[in-house]
Structure 1
């Protein structure tokens, strides 16, 4: 259910890697139930912004509020925050010695203290949600890349996050596997999962995005609704980028 108060507020965030200014005064808000897609050329700061939200990187300026609390304060424990903010990366990083179901069960059992039977029931339910109900007993090396990424999505969902971050989740996949992951992500958006997605998959943006954010050289250049963006009501620079990835 959507509310007027942002679930996430990024306010004037700055970030450096050495002499490189990778995020410059970035401001963005995301309401509950929204899907925001971040696009832009490589090196524009998209993935770094996600990593700052998940406290995998620190910031040097500005603030990040999640559920009205400043998560950049020193007393915030990253591992507790990550129970509420799930993240799916380019590489699946599944445990090779565990089955798909066991990969999904691990964090709820060890972090949340859920018993094995409950964790297993939840894992089977999530495997159905990501459209691979028959792969519970398969090991990662028995799965395609698209299936492994869907297990990784199910693993993140097992913690019942309030916000999902997707960092180019299809970039390591063969073209025929991209659609199956995009379909699952679109399902989650349709169900009201709040998410920020770094991707070049404009088919997903057209289907699922409420807002599209264009970044370049560490700055947020454009922030438009889906209809505005694809309707041409954006800057020439954003339009050029869109033309490049669509043709």
Structure 2
């Protein structure tokens, strides 16, 4: 089996046959840092092809939940199922899981000494064993997908913040992930650059990429989300369809937050 075909650990695949429609299932996740409890029995399902947006005040645990999904932070309790397999059962498999889950952070984290194309090529060459020529073809194709086809040879300091973030998205896509995680990907951008990144994310969602997004951009949430999840004080307080959430049929705490952020 080639590296890009590596499956999640096969443990209990049969016993989780009922989870087939759910690409990701988070069940009762707890996480603390010292005496501070960050996540409190959080549970959430993400279906294949679904875009789920996590919103809530700063410090509510949204980013920590993403990091637990990507196994960057070990959960203290609960389970996370990816493609039906419990990925929290054996963290030795974390590198293999991360090959299938792309993550885009607040900061672009590009290698400054590499061009845009070379930043994208690095993981396919080193992790998947692709040739430089094949990896370059993928990079060029992905730069077109994120709407900067002419920036292959540009270095990060020659790119705007929005362009750098789109290179970061292309870099994540180069591993052909089954799930994309976005941790406030526009929070470090100037206002005029935010739309270009959100447009690319919306394009990917429309194409069927399964996505879990932490953002304060309600325009994107209204436009691209299938489901809105409101978090506060480490808890998932409300889960609703985008239509219901923005139509006012939500928890009072979530409605108060929405009123504040929209006005």
Q: Do they fold alike, i.e. is TM over 0.5?
A: yes
**Shift in Å at residue 75 of structure 1?**
5.2
CA contact (8 A) 2:227 2:239 kept: yes
Separation in 2, partners of 1:54, 1:86? 8
Partner residue of 1:79? 95
- Give structure 1 regions of 4+ aligned residues with deviation exceeding 3 angstroms: none
Give 5+ residue unaligned stretches, structure 1.
Answer: none
Instruction: Select which of 64, 71, 87 maps to 1:48.
Output: 64
Partner residue of 2:36? 20
CA contact (8 A) 1:4 1:31 kept: no
Instruction: Select which of 176, 182, 185 maps to 1:160.
Output: 176
Structure 1 residue 101 and structure 2 residue 123: aligned?
Answer: no
CA contact (8 A) 2:180 2:211 kept: yes
Partner residue of 1:222? 238
CA contact (8 A) 2:71 2:91 kept: no
Give 5+ residue unaligned stretches, structure 2.
Answer: 1-18
1:50–1:75 distance in 2 versus 1, CA, 3 Å: closer
Partner residue of 1:138? 154
Separation in 2, partners of 1:76, 1:6? 23
Secondary structure, counterpart of 2:99 in structure 1? helix
Separation in 1, partners of 2:42, 2:139? 37
Instruction: Select which of 176, 181, 185 maps to 2:192.
Output: 176
Partner residue of 1:115? 131
How high is the TM-score relative to the length of structure 2?
Answer: 0.92
Separation in 1, partners of 2:230, 2:206? 22
Separation in 1, partners of 2:119, 2:251? 44
Partner residue of 1:7? 23
CA-atom RMSD, angstroms?
1.0
CA contact (8 A) 1:63 1:70 kept: yes
| CA deviation profile, 1:130-154 (whole Å, cap 9, x unmatched) | 0000000000000000000000000
| CA deviation profile, 1:202-247 (whole Å, cap 9, x unmatched) | 1100110000000000000000000000000001110110111111
Separation in 1, partners of 2:91, 2:246? 42
